[in-house]
Chains A and B, each alone.
Chain A
Amino acid sequence: MAPGTPQSFTPRGKNIRLIETPEGVPLSVTLADSGERLGAVLIDLLAIVILIVVWSALVLSALQDRQFAEWATVLLILGIFVIHSFYFIFMELRWQGRTLGKRLLGIRVIDRKGGKLTSQAIFARNLMREIELFIPISLLASAQLYDTDQWILVTAGIWIGIFVLLPLFNDDRMRAGDLVGGTLVVEMPKAILLDDILEESPADTEAAFSFGYRFSLEQLSAYGVYELHTLEELLRRKGEAADDTAMAVAQRIQSKINWSEPWDATNPWGFLEDFYAAQRAHLEGRMLMGERKEHKDDERGASP
């Protein structure tokens, strides 16, 4: 990147996808993994079975009389059809891209392009279930009931194989329905707002330097963003992490930056907090000038 242009940070990774919001800010989402999706579909299948059983019980108990036998059959057939064909569509429209199974496992459907998740997308992705899910299941079921030819079983096996394994063969873990519907299944993100570490220091403006340590520009140029984030993780675990760890880290930093002044060795946390504050102020300041030093060996943002 050309010097002087502000560099902004966007997360990257194998399972991370950036979706372009209509507002133009890319957002990162994490793809749901195959196990979660399998789990969700199993829960939904179970729910479908339960719904069918409940519906049948209702119809049969309401229309027990012999004279209603035909009506009961009609209601049963129609009910089973509606439950089996519209369960997924209804749920995903109702709960914004989540079925019961997806909800329980914390995943959801989104539009691949980052637009609105339209009803057509939901129709398309769920109509494909007919060949992905229901036909293989009924083939297997009928193979159990009747003596089915060997080759039908083999065909069914290949069929199931192609569709079930399809998500494993593309980077975005899309099944046929996702391809046709233009959708992705992603994790429902969860994160809580953690306090800024600087907040824990006293509230005056000199807060960041509460333990009185001072660092030179040269000393602050030794590390980059990666090291700062590692230090942040450690400081967030201040309550649980052993003082020994803090001591070791403090000493590593001191030898790296050639620290020669006296310091309070009984409280390594104090040193680390001051160093974090100073380091972050320094790096953020450089970042505003368009120099983002990613890690300690990064040449950018070196001391002038």
Chain B
Amino acid sequence: MIYETNALAVAVFSLFVAAVLGLSFWLGRKATSAGGYFAAHGQIGWFVNGVAFAGDYLSAASFLGICGMIAFYGYDGFLYSIGYLAGWIVALFVIAEPIRRLGRFTFADALDAKFQSKGVKTAAAISTLVVSLFYLIPQMVGAGALVKPLLGLPHWSGVLLVGVTVTLIVVTAGMVSTTWVQFIKGALLLIFCAVLVGLILDRGLAVPRAADGATISAKDSARWTQTLETARDGAKLVNGAPLGADNQLDSRLRADVGTGFGSISALPGGVERTGPLGPISYLATFSQSTIVTWQKSEKTDAATGTRTATFTPKESTGDDLLLPGANPTFKGIRSPELSKKLDFFSLMIALFLGTASLPHILIRYYTVKDAAAARKSTVVGIAAIGGFYVLTLYLGLGAMTSGHLDPTDSNMSAPLLARSFSDTLFAIISAIAFTTVLGTVSGLVMAGAGAVAHDLLANVFGVVREDKAKVRVAKIAAIALGVGAMALGILFERMNVTFLVGWAFNIAASANLPSLVMVLFWKRTTKQGVVAAVLVGIVSSLAWVLTSADTIEKVYGYSAADAANLAFVPFSQPGLVTIPLGFVTLVAVSLMTRRNPATA
């Protein structure tokens, strides 16, 4: 697809970035001490902190990734919405209050509160850095995906734009500016997604037809199939002619039926258009409709190196698309073999347990004044985040039937859905989507900078002693993390952002949750047990992810069949094994060391 620069989008985006940076520089005066820089002096109100939780948590994966997955495969993307929100129950009922009471600036503070051990601080800081880096990748990929339609610039420039803006936000005022950026972003995202869903319901569902009455269907597949050839030098041909403004991947479809990818071929009762629908009747009508999705097959000519992608229409019933198991990640659910369902169980457990283990979420508990405020802000966060995840189902299904999908890039589904209504809405939604990346990346960089400056350099190595020096070092660490995030965002361009976030949740849940829970609830926990559990959790989950079939196929570029043969582990999501492994490690090591706790 070719995306043209949209002047309004540029204006909205520039306005937002200017406002955010202006706010950051203004707030910078209030964040000169470590307490101000790392925790906003604990003076953020619980409501603002709750909405900022939403701004922190509703990342590119939630907005771009989930909507894209639902738009391409149906219900499976909604599984992420359910898992992401359910994880907040762990945060509310198990983690929120104790974390606020035990900690000061970072996750390591809380974990180490009763031990005062350099080993625990080091392990927690390493874990924070690893999880933050893995979470940063999908955010930066999302930034690159957004900048294409927003500014008409290539992927790498979007990554750089976000990287530089976020680094400035974090360097100027730390947690103070990060909180307000996340508050504004969380509020804007919720409001405009609600508007978009209102428009989806008002538009209802319709069947696009060609002049001869035909609909896009699998029966006459030759008529509708589209091809995209990419030569070794990057030149592209669409259906045999050079790619250009007048010959895009969906141009032939638009000329024929007036719509692009993503449509309906039959509505219940044979009607052509439903008119406005309610939230329940929209889902009921969708389930009785026949939906056209697109299958992509690729082959490479060995002699010329030209890659040819062929897009063929496939008709599915709405009923089938509203059941789990259509996406390759979850297809094992529909298998009769238990072993093939393990990926699903593993991911759902990681999502449930991962939220309360994410370092950038945990540090937000230190920005409020007491345990009651921590709890209340979690409730506001759950309400805001839950409301958003309900909307994702409508956004995804709306995109699936909008006639505006880009079949080469699932991450673009939500912004392109907005374009199906108007260019103005597209500009606003794209700019807001961009802010989702800014908010989350700010939180991640902040968590990483705290781990380096406060945990490692100040508390473990003792090389930073003064308050102001700690803030200065944190700012330098933020710049380094920003640069690292930019490099990773460019490297992982083609990955679906939701898939990547699944990694981060697995690693966070495996490395952090066993220690967090046991420190709070098991008195025999020793510092050696905590260190061992964190390190075993990181290494085992990371090793599992990097040697799994999914990674071998999607990151290392092998075919699905080769990846299945080369994989070292039986399923791709590690949480089912590595989270219990963390608990077992902690209990075993604690029992072995409890009589001699001073030897760590």
Co-assembled chains A and B: no
